[in-house]
Structure 1
Amino acid sequence: MPYYIRHHFDPHFDYHRLCPRERLDGGVDHYDLGYVQNVKQDQLLAEIVDLDEAGSDIEQRFVVDEPVLPAGENTKLDPENPRRLLAAVNGYVFCDNGHIHVHDILNVRRDVDFHTGNINFLGDMIVHGAVRTGFSLKARNIKVLDIIGGADLTAHGSILAQGGIKGQKKASLTAQKDMRVAFCENAQLTAGRHIRVDGSAMHCQLSASGNILVDGRLQGGRVVTGRILFVREILGGGVGTTTSLVLGQDPRHLIELEMIEEELLDIEERMEYYGEQITFGPALHSEYSAKIARTQRRKKLLEQRRDSLIEILDNPPANPDAHQIIVEGEIRPGVMVTMGKESMFIDEIRGPARIRLDAEGRLAIFDYIPAKS
């Protein structure tokens, strides 16, 4: 009795032959080429059906004499129905030599550009080329071997930027766990745990709930660290370049506060517009009165959350000794340090130093003796 293998993905998929996806307006999106076929663990990949149940639109090469599924790597038979093949891991599905495989590591062996489009993957991703400006990557963990331009990278785990980042004030990298980069320029880096920069960080926004280590020079931009900032060589860029450092804060609180303040500004503009519209007759008065009431309720909630966040950010951390700045090399003028309500501006060159709260709860600079290598 003949059988048919019904696929629940495109068995003919070829990432060498990608086409832009069509948008709802009839145009095409050259950034969305569908580079991979993502599947989740336990997702149905294929099933065996009797040939007379397969319908008329069948391919002869998927007609088989025995009800045997072409199981490959990281696939498994459904324990409740051996005629169904499931994915054993999160990853991408493909056919090779007549078998169905799922891989949880995606190797992109070229630059991420208009040949690949944006890539969204459920497993780990390794990009062997560069990530060009304007493109985005999403994956569990991301490793990029070449340079990252003004791109957007998001990882549920960690990010390794082995080739460094030239962000052009457009790059945004977010990792829920750790991040390590060769160097970074004009980029925004946010990590749920720690950030390490093997070279220099120039005019960047660095935010981490844990520690931040810069092996080279840290100049310009803003750094928010929940624990310790360690700079191996030079901190600050001298007169004319401000380097802002915020100690002992969860970056998520600052980001949320900034978003709330932006929305409150938008609400003020909308309320002004609604106030103008309400004067143009009874019909508009009724419509915009309702909008004003809803917007005022939203404004009140945002103001309450804003005040709560400000109170959190103004308070010193519970264990201030765990939050400090350590500079093994030299501090240049133009460094602003904030911790709770305390702040300090450094306008002179200092040698190896440690910045933390003193016994009176004020920010102070202490001499630091680097460990001998």
Structure 2
Amino acid sequence: MPYILKHYFDPDWDLTKLKPAEQVDGSVDHHEKHFVHSVEAGAVIAEWVELAEDANGQDERFVYDEKAFPAGRGTGIKHRHPDRLYAAKDGYVCYKDGKIVVRDTLILAKDIDYHTGNIDFIGNVVIDGSVRSGFSVRGRDLSVHGQIEGAEVKALQDLNCKGGIKGGHKAQVKSGRDMKLAFCENATLQSSRDILIKGALMHSDVYAGRRLAVGGRLTGGNISAYNYIYVGEQLGGGLDTDTSLVLGYHPSLLYVNRESNIRIKKLHDDIASFEKILNKDDEFQEEYKEKLESAKAELELIKSLKVQLWEGMYCTECLEECKVLVPGVVKPGVEISIGNAYYKVDDYLEDVFFYYDHEEVKIGASTKNIKR
């Protein structure tokens, strides 16, 4: 009896023939081309089905006289279900040299742009090119050999960008574990553990779950690290450049607090706009009265949540371990907060460290004997 091999993936998947996703209204989204389809370990990827005698229109390539899976690496069969082929690991499934294989690493020898669309993959992603502005990449471990531009990049575990980041004030880069960068300009960085930057860190917002180390200059931006910041060459850009460092609170909570402040400002603007319309125009009274009440209710809710957020942040205080180490130069204007202690640098300093002592930020004269 003939059998047909039923696929739970596209057996003709071809990286060179990607098409943009069609929307409900018939338009197409050139950012979404379904570059790769992820499968989880244990998912059924192919199955034998008996071929009916009167069956027409079946793909003859997948009609077999005997049930023998063209199984390759990353696939497996369960004794209880011998007619099904399973993914043995997380990854993507395709045909390779006539075999069905599952691969856990997606290697892209090109930029992430309109040719590829966004990438959302369950396994590791290696990008030989750059991630262009307006696109997004998501994976387990991410390695980018080129640059990250104004893109959204998220690694569930580690992220390594050898070409550095030129974010254009739009880049959002996040890692579930450690992050390593050649340099970073005008971006927002979030990491649950350490952020290591070989060169300069300039005009960026940073949230490091444990430590931040910058080999070159750290100039401008709002920098948060739980307990440790190291800057090799220069901290601050002078009085004309705002450089703020915050230590001692969990950075993920500080990020939520920042987002809450942005939303509160937007709500205040909306409320003022709605009240202005209601005072001038009777035609839209009902519509804008409802919008005004909704905005006020959301504002009160966010304020209430911020109180709870700060209560939680105080519980995460880790002040005695906090250090800012700068073997290079510290320029005037740098603001350093460790818990509720605050210090603003008003003169040039060299080869110093900052630490918390009795509700004050104090300065040590040399970094050479400090344990890192």
TM-score by length of 2: 0.91
Give matches, 1:306-321, under 5 Å. 306-313=306-313, 315=314, 318-321=317-320
Q: What is the identity percentage for the equivalent residue pairs of Structure 1 and Structure 2?
A: 34
Where 1:177 maps in the other structure, the secondary structure is: coil
* Number of matched pairs: 369
CA shift for structure 1 position 290: 6.8
- What are the ranges of 5 or more consecutive residues in structure 1 without an aligned counterpart? none
Report the CA distance between 1:187 and its aligned residue. 1.6
Matches within 5 A, 1:264-343: 264-271=264-271, 296-313=296-313, 315=314, 318-343=317-342
C-alpha displacement of 1:25: 2.4
Report SS of the residue matched to 1:77. Answer: strand
CA contact (8 A) 1:123 1:141 kept: yes
Q: Deviations over 1:41-80 (max 9, x none)?
A: 1111110011118943311111111111211111111343
Once residues 145 and 135 of structure 1 are traced to their aligned partners in structure 2, the CA distance between those partners, rounded to angstroms, is: 16
Partner SS for 2:190: strand
Q: 1:362: which partner in 2?
A: 360
Q: CA deviation at 1:222?
A: 1.5
> Partners of 2:164 and 2:350 in 1: how far apart?
28
Tell me the alpha carbon deviations over residues 142-168 of structure 1, each in whole angstroms, 9 at most, x when there is no partner.
Answer: 001122222210111110001111222
Residue 278 of structure 1 and its aligned partner are, at CA, apart by: 11
Displacement of 1:255 in angstroms is: 1.8
- Please list the CA deviations of residues 261-298 of structure 1 after superposition, one character each: whole Å capped at 9, or x if unmatched: 333344445555666669988x966x877766665554
Alignment of 1:87-236 (within 5 A): 87-236=87-236
Matched AA of 1:58: Q
Q: Are 2:260 and 1:260 equivalent residues in the alignment?
A: yes
Q: TM-score, normalised by structure 1?
A: 0.91
Q: Could you say what secondary structure the match of 1:328 adopts?
A: strand
> In structure 2, do the counterparts of structure 1 residues 55 and 177 end up closer, same or farther at CA, with 3 Å as the change threshold?
farther
Indicate if the aligned counterparts of 1:331 and 1:349 stay in contact, CA closer than 8 A: yes
SS of 2:187's equivalent in the other structure is: strand
217 and 268 in structure 1: CA distance in 2 versus 1, 3 angstrom threshold: closer
Amino acid at match of 1:89: K
Q: CA deviation at 1:114?
A: 1.6
Structure 2 CA distance for aligned equivalents of residues 237 and 342 of structure 1: 22
SS of alignment partner, residue 322 of structure 1? coil
1:130-153 CA distances to partner (integer Å, 9 max, x unpaired)? 222222110011001122222210
CA contact under 8 A between 1:220 and 1:241: conserved in structure 2?
yes
CA 261–254 in structure 1, closer or farther in 2 if over 3 Å, else same:
same
Specify the code of the residue in structure 1 equivalent to 2:211.
N
AA aligned opposite 2:251? P
Name which of structure 1's ranges 253-262 and 34-43 shifts more when overlaid on structure 2: 253-262
| Partner amino acid, structure 1, of 2:342 | S
Partner of 1:344: 343
Closer, same or farther in 2 for the Cα pair 1:340/1:137, shift >3 Å? same
**Which residue in 2 is equivalent to 1:83?**
83
Tell me, yes or no, if the aligned pair for 1:316 and 1:341 is still in contact at 8 Å. no
Task: Kindly report the root-mean-square deviation, in angstroms, between the aligned alpha carbons of the 2 structures.
Answer: 2.5
Contact 1:278-1:288 at 8 Å conserved across structures: no
Change (3 A) 1:55 1:122: farther
* Distance of aligned partners of 1:199 and 1:274 in 2 relative to their CA distance in 1, 3 Å threshold: closer
In structure 2, C-alpha distance between the alignment counterparts of 1:277 and 1:213, rounded to whole Å: 52
Given that 1:316 and 1:339 are in contact with CA atoms closer than 8 Å, whether structure 2 keeps it comes out as: no
Query: 2:4 is paired with a residue of what secondary structure?
Result: strand
Q: Which moved more, 1:210-219 or 1:237-246?
A: 237-246
Aligned partners of 2:193 and 2:365: how far apart in 1?
28
Counterpart-to-counterpart distance in 2, 1:273 and 1:94: 54
Compared with structure 1, are the counterparts of its residues 47 and 231 closer, same or farther at alpha carbon in structure 2 (3 Å cutoff)? same
Structure 1 residues 80-119: Cα deviation after superposition (integer angstroms, max 9, x where no partner)? 3110111111111101222111100000011212211111
Q: Is the 8 A contact 2:250 2:317 kept in 1?
A: no
Cα displacement (A) at 1:129: 1.3
The one-letter code of the counterpart of 2:363 is: I
Q: In the alignment, is the contact (CA less than 8 A) between 2:249 and 2:317 conserved in 1?
A: no
CA distance in 2, matches of 1:328, 1:367: 10
